[in-house]
Amino acid sequence: MSSRLRFLCERSFIIMLMQLFLKPLILFTLLICLSSCSMGEEMRRIEAAKQASQLQQASTSTNLTGEQIFVRSCNTCHPSGKLGMGPRLDLVAEHFPSDPALTAFIRRGKGIMPPQPKDSINDDELNNLIGYLRNLSADLRDANTAGKVPGK
Ligand code: HEC
């Protein structure tokens, strides 16, 4: 075999080897690159969705004070805590000694008193409302025992 022919043979052998191994290798690295790219894309999408839902939550939570909530949602039936369609609210401390019991009652409602889910009164607002109710109730009681008309 002439040396030139041998050289050609070796060269085609190397080319064959390269085709055999290099192609899959290139394909493999490409695949890894692509999948990590799309994974990063996916993570960004998830992050964006999370931020959007947080923003939405923040925009629906109005964080009103206890008094504002009372005026908005309770005053029609318990005008200033006095008798209306609902009863006077001077016995709240006796009927609901613990805050969790009062919270559960307000969330659930009773009879014609409507339930108050979280999207109408959020947890912070309900806490504010409980504080306001406790004060209002105590004021009404004080006014009762002093024989005065309850009010400011
Ligand atoms: C549609 C009228 C109505 C609205 C609005 C309403 N209530 Fe009532 N509420 C009632 C009625 C009626 C009862 C008596 C329920 C029963 O015992 O059957 C009641 C009972 C209560 C009681 C129990 C009083 C006690 O001493 O046993 C509390 C406390 C109370 N309401 C707080 C609230 C608060 C706080 C809100 C606002 C988030 C509210 N209510 C909104 C009608 C209403």
Rounded CA-CA distance 96/144 in Å is 19
34: its two tokens: 């692509």
Q: What is the 89 CA–ligand 1 centroid distance (Å)?
A: 8
Single-letter residue type at 45: R
State pTM to two decimals.
Answer: 0.67
Q: What is the 127 CA–ligand 1 centroid distance (Å)?
A: 16
Nearest CA to ligand 1 atom 41: 74
Nearest CA to ligand 1 atom 27: 95
* Ligand 1 interacting residues, C-beta cut-off 6 A: 73-74, 76-78, 85-87, 89, 91-92, 95, 106, 110-114, 116, 129, 133
pLDDT score recorded for residue 152: 46
Successive 10-residue mean pLDDT values, the chain, 152 residues: 75 81 83 80 87 69 89 97 96 96 97 95 96 96 74 48
pLDDT score recorded for residue 58: 58
Q: What is the 66 CA–ligand 1 centroid distance (Å)?
A: 15
What is the SS3 assignment for 119?
coil
pLDDT score recorded for residue 18: 78
* Residue position matching structure tokens 């969705």: 49
pLDDT score recorded for residue 17: 77
Single-letter residue type at 92: V
Q: What is the 87 CA–ligand 1 centroid distance (Å)?
A: 7
- Phi, psi (5° rounding) for residue 76? -60, -40
Single-letter residue type at 133: L
